[in-house]
Structure 1
Amino acid sequence: MFKDVNLSTIAACVGDQWSPQIGDPTVAGWVTVVAYGVCVVLSFMTLMRVQDSRERIFWGLVVLAMLFLGVNKQLDLQSMLTAAGRCLSQIQGWYEKRRVFQLDFIIGLLVLAVLLLALAVWLMRGRLRRNGVAVLGLAFVAAFVSVRAVGFHHVDTLIGSRFLDIRYNVLFELSGLVLIGANAIMLTAIV
């Protein structure tokens, strides 16, 4: 079932199906990218101000996560990953059975998100009063990213619905970013 695959073969296949481009060229997309950028700056400022080693680790990881997710928001790297999976499954001959692998990948992604959030809560034990809003914001962002990665059509329809002409997915993602930014502002103001 699994054949040896040449990396250049997969790269050529992915190149045929995906090219780097702006993933969400809408106003809402760019507002979200700017919000990620603001979170990077505020989280970095917090990282530089806090003295506690666990808080420094936490805010350092928040900086990296916000930077990666902000870049990914517009480069649409998950589409490249999807194309790579599709190419690999076609080349190795298991494309017709891909649903099993997709389910395993989704479960793995959700487990990873839960473990990372549990790690954040554990890391911040005794410090949740100061950092809990950011942990909650990370939970929102992780939930949003997981839902988008899963790509269930009925969930996509729901989060693609609009409230005051703004898609729910934008509101959901921005809510997490606002919570992270607000916690960072609070910490830099009192440290």
Structure 2
Amino acid sequence: MSRLEDFIARWLSRSGDATFWSWVITFLYAVVIILSFLYTRKIRGDKPLHLLWMALSTFLLAMGVNKQLDFQTLLIMGGRYLAWKTGFIRYGWVIQMAAGAIISSLCFAAILYILIRCRSVLNRAKTALAGTAILLLFLFIRIGSITGLRTAMILQYIIFHIHALELLGLTIIFASLIYYIFLDAKKEQLPHREAAPEL
């Protein structure tokens, strides 16, 4: 077996989570991702709302794929290997903190850009955004606990079972999509009563 194949085999052996709730969350991700892309197609004529839901759908897709593949494990393994090969292993903690700060900054910048571009339609997706905020909190805790960020580690200790956050956020987004796609559409199709003639 080549070194690359051995590296990939070790990553795949460490990735994934075979617990019952992990598979429930993975299945819910799949359902929510399908619904979000269906809704994104439905509203493609409304550019700000379409952009917002494209961003949300892409974020959900990335989170869903990462749920079982654990790309953060691949990044950590790759980073440690490079640090060892280049002699920077003695600065591993500093590099780990810097990587966490860079990733967090990029995520924050992307979120800020989307919110500014789509500020006119934020009120029309406030429930889904609330669920997304919970998922972002979960992501912050996961990245922070891996990179040794003290605030994230304290939050993980307080919340105890952070995967409940992930499930809660997904459930809120799922409920909002059901409303947007099915219930809200039916409400728009209901015939409006004619106003009573003025006497």
Q: TM-score, normalised by structure 2?
A: 0.78
Question: AA paired with 1:172?
Answer: L
- Which position in structure 2 is the counterpart of 1:178? 171
Give unpaired runs (5+ residues) of structure 1.
1-7, 162-167
- Structure of greater relative contact order (alpha carbons < 8 Å, 6+ residues apart): 1
Match of 1:128 among 109, 122, 125: 122
Hey, which of these two has a bigger chunk of helix by percent? 2
TM-fit CA distance, 1:37:
0.9
Closer, same or farther in 2 for the Cα pair 1:173/1:36, shift >3 Å?
same
Highest CA radius of gyration, 1 or 2? 2
Deviation sequence 1:104-128 (CA, Å, 0-9, x none): 1111121122222222322321211
Closer, same or farther in 2 for the Cα pair 1:177/1:57, shift >3 Å?
same
In structure 2, distance between residues paired with 1:156 and 1:132? 24
- Which position in structure 1 is the counterpart of 2:197? none
Q: Percent identity?
A: 27
1:158 aligns with 2:157: yes
In structure 2, distance between residues paired with 1:158 and 1:13? 34
Cα contact 1:141–1:176 (8 A) shared by 2: yes
RMSD, matched Cα: 2.4
Deviation sequence 1:25-61 (CA, Å, 0-9, x none): 0011001101111210221121122231121122122
In structure 1, distance between residues paired with 2:159 and 2:80? 25
Structure 2 counterparts to residues 7-156 of structure 1, below 5 A: 11=4, 14-15=7-8, 17-19=10-12, 23-50=16-43, 51-151=45-145, 152=148, 154-155=153-154
